[in-house]
Amino acid sequence: MTDLADNPLLQPWDASYGLPPFEQVMPAHFTPALETAMRAHNAEVDAIADSAEAPTFANTVAALDRSGRALTRIELLFHNLCASETSPALQAVEREMAPRLAAHHNAIRLNPKLFVRLDRLHTDRASLSLRAEELRVLERLHLDFTLAGARLSASAKQRLAEIVARLATLMTQFSQNVLADESSDGLVLRSERDLAGLPEQVRGAAREAARVRGMSDAWVITLNRSLIVPFLTFSDRRDLRERAFKAWVRRGENEGPRDNRPIAREILALRHEQATLLGYRNFADCALVDRMAKTPAAVAKLLAQVWEPAKAKAAAECEALRAMALSRGENIALEPWDWRYYAEKVRKARYDFDEAAIKPYFPLERVLAAAFDCAQRLFGVRFVAQPHLKLYHADVRAYEVRDRDDRPVGLFLSDNFARPTKRGGAWMSAYRRQSRVDGEVLPIIVNNNNFAKAPEGEPTLLSADDVRTLFHEFGHGLHGLLSQSTYERLSGTNVLRDFVELPSQLFEHWAFEPVVLERHARHYQTAAPIPAALVEKLSQAQRFNKGFETVEYVASALVDMAIHAQEAANGVDISTFEKDELTRIGMPREIVMRHRLPHFGHLFSGSAYAAGYYVYMWAEVLDADGFEAFVESGNVFDPTLAERLRRNVYAAGGTVDPAVAYRAFRGHDASVDAMLAKRGLVEAQTRDLSAAAHSARL
Ligand SMILES: [Zn+2]
């Protein structure tokens, strides 16, 4: 079994597209194969670093991009199986190998001889006659090494390594504390009186939470968003809503062993030290270097454009909620624990429709066909089923993607159903990334969803949210499939964090376009098209409560940027900081941050979204403005625009600066107007009316 000569991970993979030999691979094959491939990668990197030749683009940058192919191939398979089809044996390998793989890649970035060569090329880059893509890959690689600490003295590298290790421990503690607080009892309900207003589904979930805790004859509302939010939305008991809400927003802020305040303070202090070691004034400056926004000032400008209109909209919503309360004879000062409750009453009065009425028009097979059809109408690509390919699970479907001239573009795997061996959520990933540094390598892209599979013989019906999710991930999928990069480092979704959601969020817009619904949203039994009235209700409900949602989101993004711009060597007390900052920006008293700092996992359970919570809105500015181009053209499948979109966004990957790429597609920079309009934060009459009418969408 562990004999390397028999290890299928180390043999040539000669199935179509170089698909992994799924049927032969066992968990025990991974550790020895990864070790062998890491050694081979190190030998390749050492050969580059130790070369006696003067550094050139070819012998250093291109050679690095080419190195580690055997390792990449196994790593991608490993990560994909861990996510989509895991097992206790594979999880054990994961616990052992995840830190070793991270250390392997980090050591390469800290290889001093390698960096000397890279740095020389970077210094001389203007005189090397590089093509634009070559210059781009050199710059990206150099920045990557620099931010890992490649430029530092040996002692500073040592300190940076200590900081990184300590941060990993602190971030794990932070996240485990939040998890523990969220799974705590929260609120125990004992009688019908306590349950007043709660729908059957919420009662069932609360009953199950009690059963798990060994409580009979009780219902438990945990502090997990999936249970507390429905409780706050439906419970008629204002006193219980208040108690539950106060416990919920205090997650991570309770005295004792699970107090996240000292942990966050230390994380902030270490991040500040890390940033100053790397030569930046504060962490926010450092984090923004590798983003499309480039500076905290650019983020501040975006958020400022949204903040005041969002507050105004929320104030109007608040008035409507007060009026609703009054109409029910409840003359109260609206508190944060009342918002969701009265908002639900207003929503029901204005747009009532049943999710169950929508689902029959969205059977999974038709929705997938709709996504394929949109890709074909926009980009000319066809999806051809490949039922003969051997994959890792019987539910996964493979499609060869062919271009207009019938040439293959890549392979698309569609893995839609939830199962115990798959992690939650929805995501796109690659088994092989496109590149052509060593001949044309076509991508193998997978989309994972977690739809509940219907019983044998029945179609799986999707909710509106599911439909949006499928189109979102399919947009990421197209980003991987349509890639036209020379270097793997720049291919597909290898783009900056505040740009990566553009291709996915943009593709969502087509899901609910009238012309798409007309063709594809048909009743699974009668084939009748979805009624226009239902589409209209869906579309209107889209803008409901957006003032509230925008305020809770933008407040979180503003506090994130502000706290990571702090330059205090000992960190700051997050509770005091948050309170002062919210006062400064004029937070409405009826709304609380979407994530308060003591449980803000995006910021403190990992570093990827620290000084980066804004990225969702940054991408939303781009996707709303980008789709507006199609609306303005009067044809949501306008061929000229679609061709520009394909070339400059979906095919370009990271080969071009994202601002340049966007401008090449759109003809100008994105403006925030379309995003503000989509969220209902500006008056419709300020926009072109025919465009507004045309853009009626969910
Ligand atoms: Zn996404």
CA 180, CA 140: separation in Å to the nearest integer? 39
Cα(355) to ligand 1 centroid in Å equals: 24
Q: What is the DSSP string of 200-249?
A: HHHHHHHHHHHHHTT-SS-EEE-SSHHHHHHHHHH---HHHHHHHHHHHH
CA 517, CA 535: separation in Å to the nearest integer? 9
CA 149, CA 158: separation in Å to the nearest integer? 10
Beta carbons within 8 Å of 560's beta carbon, 6+ residues apart: 600, 602, 603, 610, 611, 612, 613, 614
By the 8 A CB rule, do 538 and 512 touch? yes
Q: What is the DSSP string of 670-695?
A: --SHHHHHHTT-S-GGGS-HHHHHHT
Strands 444-451 and 408-417, by their bridges, are: parallel
Is 473 tagged catalytic?
yes
The count of C-alpha atoms lying within 13 angstroms of the C-alpha of 425, restricted to the half-sphere facing its C-beta, is 5
Q: To which residue do tokens 């006193």 refer?
A: 239
Q: Which of 6, 5, 11, 7 is nearest to 29 (CA)?
A: 7
CA 125, CA 120: separation in Å to the nearest integer? 8
CA angle 636–641–643, rounded 5-degree value: 115
Split the chain (698 residues) into runs of 10 and give each run's mean pLDDT.
83 93 97 98 98 98 96 97 93 88 90 97 98 97 96 93 89 88 87 95 90 92 89 97 96 94 97 97 97 96 96 96 96 96 92 82 97 98 97 97 97 94 89 95 96 89 92 98 97 95 97 94 95 87 90 98 94 96 98 97 91 95 97 97 98 96 97 93 53 32
Cα(653) to ligand 1 centroid in Å equals: 15
Report helix angle 615-633 to 296-327, nearest 10: 80
Cα(275) to ligand 1 centroid in Å equals: 28
User: Which of 317, 473, 508, 628 is flagged as catalytic?
Assistant: 473
Cα(241) to ligand 1 centroid in Å equals: 33
DSSP-assigned beta bridge partners for residue 53: none
Cα(9) to ligand 1 centroid in Å equals: 30
| Tokens encoding 611 | 């000084």
Cα(502) to ligand 1 centroid in Å equals: 8
Q: Which of 245, 345, 252, 266 is nearest to 571 (CA)?
A: 266
Report helix angle 154-182 to 261-277, nearest 10: 150
CA 266, CA 264: separation in Å to the nearest integer? 5
CA 140, CA 662: separation in Å to the nearest integer? 18
Q: Residue 691's pLDDT is what?
A: 37
CA 240, CA 193: separation in Å to the nearest integer? 11
By the 8 A CB rule, do 236 and 193 touch? no
Cα(279) to ligand 1 centroid in Å equals: 32
By the 8 A CB rule, do 46 and 109 touch? no
Helix boundaries (H) for 57-213: 63-66, 69-84, 88-109, 112-123, 132-148, 154-182, 200-212
CA 361, CA 691: separation in Å to the nearest integer? 27
Say how many C-beta atoms besides its own lie within 10 A of residue 150's C-beta: 20
Q: What is the DSSP string of 299-367?
A: HHHHHHHHHHHHHHHHHHHHHHHHHHHHHTT------HHHHHHHHHHHHHHHH---HHHHGGG-BHHHH
What amino acid is encoded at 503 in this protein?
A: P
Say how many C-beta atoms besides its own lie within 10 A of residue 552's C-beta: 20
Cα(368) to ligand 1 centroid in Å equals: 17
Cα(99) to ligand 1 centroid in Å equals: 25
H or E stretch including 444? strand 444-451
Cα(505) to ligand 1 centroid in Å equals: 7
What amino acid is encoded at 78 in this protein?
A: F
CA 36, CA 19: separation in Å to the nearest integer? 20
In terms of C-beta density within 10 A (0-12 exposed, 13-18 middle, 19 or more buried), how is residue 226 classed? exposed
In terms of C-beta density within 10 A (0-12 exposed, 13-18 middle, 19 or more buried), how is residue 561 classed? buried
Q: What are the backbone angles phi and psi of residue 330, rounded to the nearest 5°?
A: -110, 100
Measured CA to CA in angstroms, residue 414 lies from 13, 130, 508, 523 at distances of: 21, 39, 17, 23
Say how many C-beta atoms besides its own lie within 10 A of residue 579's C-beta: 13
Cα(426) to ligand 1 centroid in Å equals: 8
Cα(523) to ligand 1 centroid in Å equals: 29
Cα(3) to ligand 1 centroid in Å equals: 40
Cα(463) to ligand 1 centroid in Å equals: 18
Cα(615) to ligand 1 centroid in Å equals: 11
E-assigned strand segments in 393-439: 397-402, 408-417, 427-432
CA 385, CA 402: separation in Å to the nearest integer? 11
By the 8 A CB rule, do 520 and 373 touch? yes
Q: Residue 522 carries which DSSP code?
A: B
By the 8 A CB rule, do 474 and 445 touch? no
By the 8 A CB rule, do 334 and 342 touch? yes
Strand order in the sheet with 408-417: 382-385, 397-402, 408-417, 444-451, 427-432
Distance from the Cα of residue 673 to its chain's centroid? 23
CA 201, CA 431: separation in Å to the nearest integer? 39
Q: Residue 683's pLDDT is what?
A: 66
Cα(172) to ligand 1 centroid in Å equals: 24
Cα(500) to ligand 1 centroid in Å equals: 7
